[in-house]
Structure 1
Amino acid sequence: MYTAFMILIIMVVVGLIFGLILAVANKKFAIESNPLIHLVEEALPKGQCGACGYAGCIAYAEAVVTDPDVSPSLCIPGKAVVAKMVAELTGKAAAEVEPRVARIKCGGSADKAVNAFRYSGIQDCVAANYTQGGHKGCKYGCLGFGTCVKACPFDALEMGANGLPVVNQKLCTGCGACETACPKKVIAMQPLGAKVTVDCSSKDKGAAARKLCASACIACGLCVKNCPHGAAKMEDNLAVVDPHICETICSEATCTAKCPTGAILKLI
C-alpha cells in the first residue's frame, strides 16, 4: 500500500514538473499570429481549390500578407471582387483578373464516339486511363466517368445524358480543379467572353480521327482559311483558336459555319 502511494505521488510530481516545463516553453516560443492573415482568409471563397498555387486558402492568405512579392490577384474563383478586397487589406495593387470558365474540349458523346473495348473496372477516369488509355477508340477523348465532377469544389459540373460533363457557367469560377483532375486533359479554362471553342482534343490525322469520332476535328484547315483575323491555326492536326482575337476583333464567327464536323462551336 505504501509503495503504491509513493508511486502515485512521484507520478503527480513528475506530471507537474513536465506541465510547468511545457507551459514555460509554450510562452517562450509562442508565435504571434498576424490577425491580418485571418481577415484575408475570411475574404477568400474557401474553395480550397489551389488555383492560387498554394495549399488552400489559409496558405495563400499567409503568403499574400507576409510576402510583398505575392500578388493579391491570385484567387481565380474570387475574381476581381476578392482581388480588390485582398489588395485593400494588404496595401497592394490588384492586377486585372480575367473571368474564365471551364470548357469541355471533346464532343465524343456516346452516340458519336467509337469504343475500342468494353470497360468494367473502377468507374473513375484516372483508373480507366491506366487500362490501355481507356475504352474509347479516340485516346484523346473524355472517358465519361465524372472524375472532374467529383473534383469541382463549387458543384459547377455534372454528367450529361450523353456521357460528357456539362459546365454550369453560373457556378463555374474557373479555378481549374477539374482541368487538373482530368487525365485526358480535355478540360481547359477559356475567357468567359470567348466566342468560339474547339470541341475536340484529338491529335490524330483527319481520316483516323473521323473514323473514331463523328465530331472530331479532321485538320481540313477550312477554319484557318476562312478566318479573316488570323485567330485560327492548326497545331498537331488540331484546330486552335485564339479566344482573345475572337473576343476583341471578330464580329461573326465564320469558322463555325465552315467546319464540316461541327468541331468548332459558337458560344456567343
Structure 2
Amino acid sequence: MIAAVIILASLALLASLGLALAARLFAVEVDPRVEAIEEALPGANCGACGLPGCSELAKRIAEGKADVDACPVGGADVARHIAEIMGSSFEGGASRMVALVLCGGDDTVAARRFYYNGVYDCNSAALLFGGDKTCSYGCLGLGTCAGVCPFGAIDMLPSGLAVVDPEKCTGCTKCVSACPKGIIKMVPYGKRVHILCSSHDKGGRVRKACKVGCIACQKCVKEAQEGAITIEGNLAVVDYRKDIPDEVAGVCPMNTIVVGVLSREKAAEEAPRAAAGGEGS
C-alpha cells in the first residue's frame, strides 16, 4: 500500500516537472502593451474596426499592423491614449461620424402595398417583394438596425420609423450593414440640415408613395450654396463638407429636409419649416 502511494506521488512529481519544463520551452512571450491597449479600448467588441474584437485589435496595434486610431468607437481620445502606450503621438482626429436613417416615411405619411405579417425582421420582410411599402427605398420599421446596435442608440418610433440618437451613436456602423435597404448612412456629427429620403423614383411616383419624399424639384439646390446640395438620380443629396443654412429646409415643398439629426417630428418641433415653403408647391 505504501509502495503504491510512493509510486503515485513520484509520477505526479515527474508529471508536474514535465509540465513546468514544457511551459518554459513553449511559452509565448506576451507584449505588455497588448493588455494596456485592450484596457484603453472601449471593450464593445462590436467589430467596427473589421476585426473579431478588441483583444485582436489590441494585438494588431501592438504589432504595428493597425493604426492607433483604428477603433472608430473610441475616437480621438482613445487614439491619443493608445499612442502614448505605443510611445508615439496622435495629432489627428477626423470629425466624429454618426449614423442617420435617410428616410422620413413613417406609417403616417408612407403608403403601403400590403400589410406584412411575418417574422418581425427587416431582412425577412424585404424578401417578400422588397417589403410592404409602396416606396421600395423606404424604412421597413421592424427594428433590425436597433437590434444590432450594441449601444442602444437607435429607437423605433411608434409610427414605424428607426431614429438614431447622435449622442449615443459611436459610429460602429453595425446598423449600416444590417439595413437591407441600405438607407442608413454615416454623417458628420453636428451637421444640422439633412434630406430624409433615399428614393430615386421620379417625382410623380414619389408623391403617390410618400408625402415627404424628395421629388427632385431642385428648390433646395438653388437655395443652398453652389454644390452643397445636388440632384443625383432624382434625389437631392447633401454634401456635408459644405455649410447649409437652416433656412434651406423651408423651401422644400415636400418637407423632406429636416434640421437636426433626430426624427422628422422632433426636428419639426425644434426648427419648424417655413409655412410658405411647405405650402408653396
What TM-score, normalized by structure 1, do the two folds share?
0.86
Instruction: Map residues 211-250 of structure 1 onto 2, 5 A cutoff.
Output: 211-246=208-243, 250=244
Matching residue within 53, 69, 75 for 2:71: 75
**CA separation of 1:131 and 1:27: change in aligned 2, threshold 3 A:** farther
Q: Is the aligned partner of 1:138 residue 2:131?
A: no
Q: Which runs of 5+ in 2 are unaligned?
A: 1-9, 261-270, 272-281
Q: Is the 8 A contact 1:76 1:97 kept in 2?
A: no
Q: Is the aligned partner of 1:148 residue 2:141?
A: no
Equivalent position SS for 2:241: helix
The alpha-carbon deviation at position 187 of structure 1 amounts to 1.2
Q: Aligned partners of 2:220 and 2:156: how far apart in 1?
A: 30
Q: Is the aligned partner of 1:91 residue 2:87?
A: yes
Equivalent position SS for 1:244: coil
Q: Deviations over 1:79-131 (max 9, x none)?
A: 22111111111123322131122211101100111111121111001111111
**CA separation of 1:20 and 1:187: change in aligned 2, threshold 3 A:** same
Q: Aligned partners of 2:128 and 2:11: how far apart in 1?
A: 59
Q: Aligned partners of 1:93 and 1:175: how far apart in 2?
A: 24
Q: Is the 8 A contact 1:195 1:243 kept in 2?
A: no
Instruction: Map residues 26-41 of structure 1 onto 2, 5 A cutoff.
Output: 26-41=23-38
Instruction: Map residues 202-213 of structure 1 onto 2, 5 A cutoff.
Output: 202-213=199-210
Q: Aligned partners of 1:225 and 1:200: how far apart in 2?
A: 18
Q: Is the aligned partner of 1:180 residue 2:173?
A: no
Corresponding residue of 2:118: 121
Equivalent position SS for 1:70: coil
RMSD across aligned C-alpha pairs, in angstroms? 2.5
Q: Is the 8 A contact 1:72 1:93 kept in 2?
A: no
Corresponding residue of 2:274: none
Corresponding residue of 1:261: 254
Q: Aligned partners of 1:231 and 1:14: how far apart in 2?
A: 79
Q: Deviations over 1:191-230 (max 9, x none)?
A: 1121211101111111111211111111111111221242
Q: Aligned partners of 2:12 and 2:141: how far apart in 1?
A: 59
**CA separation of 1:129 and 1:24: change in aligned 2, threshold 3 A:** farther
Q: Is the 8 A contact 1:72 1:86 kept in 2?
A: yes
Q: Aligned partners of 2:122 and 2:209: how far apart in 1?
A: 19
Corresponding residue of 1:200: 197
* AA of the residue aligned to 2:257: I
Q: Deviations over 1:220-265 (max 9, x none)?
A: 111112212420001111111111212xxx4x23431111111111
Q: Aligned partners of 1:140 and 1:25: how far apart in 2?
A: 61
The alpha-carbon deviation at position 53 of structure 1 amounts to 2.1
Q: Aligned partners of 1:223 and 1:191: how far apart in 2?
A: 20
Q: Aligned partners of 1:237 and 1:21: how far apart in 2?
A: 74
Of all paired residues, the percent bearing the same amino acid is: 42
The alpha-carbon deviation at position 33 of structure 1 amounts to 1.6
What TM-score, normalized by structure 2, do the two folds share?
0.82
Q: Deviations over 1:5-24 (max 9, x none)?
A: xxxxxxxx999999887665
Q: Aligned partners of 1:259 and 1:33: how far apart in 2?
A: 59
Instruction: Map residues 10-21 of structure 1 onto 2, 5 A cutoff.
Output: none
Q: Is the 8 A contact 1:151 1:181 kept in 2?
A: yes
Q: Aligned partners of 1:119 and 1:110: how far apart in 2?
A: 13
Q: Which runs of 5+ in 1 are unaligned?
A: 1-12
Q: Aligned partners of 1:54 and 1:185: how far apart in 2?
A: 22
